[in-house]
Chain A
């Protein structure tokens, strides 16, 4: 909205100059106001929505985490007791271990593969590039619950496709959700399937921003494709890579739907909590167990701090390697 539009334009027949000057100066100060403040107005809707659905719940969660809070009953202030309890909670660390394990299993291969695919798609001689680029993004459009349900079927013990295929090479059927390594692999494969294409496209965009001249000059100097990739593509791609890694970290540490569906909806994630992630543990305490909502809120904040810390470490590490 432009504030200056509300004032009438100076009339040409205005007899007395002083009011007109005052008028003009008022109008110009309004223009200045417009220039300084209306950008804030334009971005205000985002911050308003963020404030209601992001900031307020966060602050309220922080407030709840300082209480012994029953979702449908009373609550009493207990200071930092919830956080103190968290430090010695075996299942909290189990969930942390699972989350990071699945995160590594999904992020590392995923980003390597994405880098490889992006590099392929960046080749000028590739035909039907748009088709490939679209196809590679398709898995990301599918709803996460649908992905998880289909993969859950594929990883079934008795009638699953993967066990059927393994049967041909003489491997006994695997009870995928009964072991750490197998459940982690199954969940990581869902994440990889869904997000590799997305990361590929972002990396590809980063690659295309690298000036062609660099490659031409390198080619003239006799640098091989491989050498060009290591010496030009990778270093120039670092900022994009930081972005992709941070996004994957945030997503990976919040992993919820895939392991939950894989566990047939049981929030403890495996009979021995083999694949209960932090987000699942938070939900178990904060929502399912009505009486530990405050403790669940503390888990939520611990998660938030972990993600913030991880993002910072990523950022610093990768920034250092650039220099």
Chain B
């Protein structure tokens, strides 16, 4: 699950600073010899946000007699420093570690920290969404992560605000408004004309959506060289975002800012791009008083994916084989459906994606939108894409700030692009 909620990132970062500095200083080597073939009493699993494993592990404990300790961290931004510390000091890592998309790509640059799962588990290359399974491999071809969930992509929109602007409100009709991105921009213009407000929260959420839709190489090529200034997908995303800024269809509220969080309640904007994990954030920010006002429609221009995770086993685990088996168990079709029913992470296992319980799921807060079907349909059509090691850093610290600079009128089009290309080089180095 990709819970990049940066509202509470504030304090977390400060805390992380302290803990990570501690991690910098402490360094030792743990050379307790793993007892080969010995059955462990207990395995530790590290997750962030909600993976929905609480019930599944009870069954596992009953079947195998191995106890499982589930360590949960609420926020991804508190979670990453913990993993970094464990890897930097070679101590304290769990046996199975959930790695979110951004973290996985970054950690792939040092694959020696992770166990090659391929020899330890059955062949699963045909069981998952193919692109998702491929992303779990390190550049040297070793399988370091088994797929858990995907974010997929949809549009969340406010029915009441659309109605006030004279736009249709039913999700099929809304989908008809934007078969492609031009349609989306035209709708935004109509919204602006009727209400003098921005329809979309900011250009960066749209840019993410476009980029993930394009697939292929994004900021890096297959050899992990930075190609931010040459990549066709990035250019398309950039141009679409610039067109939106020029058409003045956004409320210029940067994602995760206080203006953005408050904007959900205040109706500052009427639409945002929603991976499945964003639904909870939209609901939280909008509050109970807006129950039923939000709805979910398909995204313009086809399917895409934003976020999702893998399970990995660190090299320092003493029970690598058993840990790999546990990861395999937690990501099988049955477990993924059970996890979805409990907490909502979208399955990646092909069998789980066909599960009727999953496909018939509706979300009450979002006007009973059939989110299982909307996201499920989208998941099947996602284009394979290649995310380089510092994808997240390039996106968040180079691409998006440059786009916002243009959106807010701080920089000209050329200046913003220049800023992005320069920063992409430094942020993307690994």
Contact = CB atoms under 8 A, between A and B. Distances in A.
Interface in B399-425: 401-402, 404-405, 408, 410-411, 419
Interface string A50-76: 000000110011001000001111000
A181 B147 CA distance: 47
B34 to A, nearest CB: 20
A187 interface: no
B6 A264 contact: yes
B262 interface: yes
B10 A271 contact: no
A287 interface: yes
Contacts of A266: 6, 396-397
B401 A159 contact: no
A289 B404 CA distance: 22
Given A271-B410, A287-B17, A158 B266 contact: yes
Contact of B262 (A71, A156, A179, A290): A156
Nearest to B87: A72
Nearest to B257: A264
Given A72-B113, A158-B263, A286 B24 contact: yes
A272 B405 contact: yes
A237 interface: no
A267 B397 contact: yes
Interface stretch (B104-112, B296-304, B357-365): B104-112
B350 interface: no
Interface string A178-190: 1100000000000
A145 B14 contact: yes
Q: What band does the interface of chain A fall in when counting residues whose beta carbon is under 8 Å from B? A: 35 or more
A60 B24 contact: yes
A81 interface: no
A303 interface: no
A287 B10 contact: no
B429 A287 contact: no
Contacts of B263: 158
B410 A178 contact: yes
B28 interface: no
B24 A271 contact: no
A283 B84 contact: no
A175 B408 contact: yes
B279 interface: no
B21 A57 contact: yes
A257 B11 CA distance: 9
Nearest to A282: B17
Given A272-B410, A272-B411, A156 B258 contact: yes
Contacts of B331: none
Given A56-B25, A260-B14, A265 B9 contact: yes
Interface string B82-116: 00100110000000000000000011011011000
A268 interface: yes
Interface of B: 6-7, 9-14, 16-17, 20-21, 23-25, 77, 81, 84, 87-88, 106-107, 109-110, 112-113, 253-254, 256-259, 262-263, 266, 268, 390, 393, 396-397, 401-402, 404-405, 408, 410-411, 419, 426-427, 429-430
Given A175-B408, A264-B10, A291-B109, 4 more contacts: A158-B263, A178-B410, A265-B12, A291-B429
Q: 7 shortest A-B CB distances, which residue pairs? A: A265-B9, A271-B401, A73-B110, A72-B87, A271-B404, A287-B20, A271-B405
24 contacts: A60-B25, A70-B110, A72-B84, A72-B87, A91-B426, A158-B262, A158-B266, A158-B268, A175-B408, A260-B10, A261-B14, A264-B6, A264-B9, A264-B257, A265-B12, A265-B77, A266-B397, A268-B401, A270-B401, A283-B13, A284-B397, A287-B17, A287-B81, A287-B84
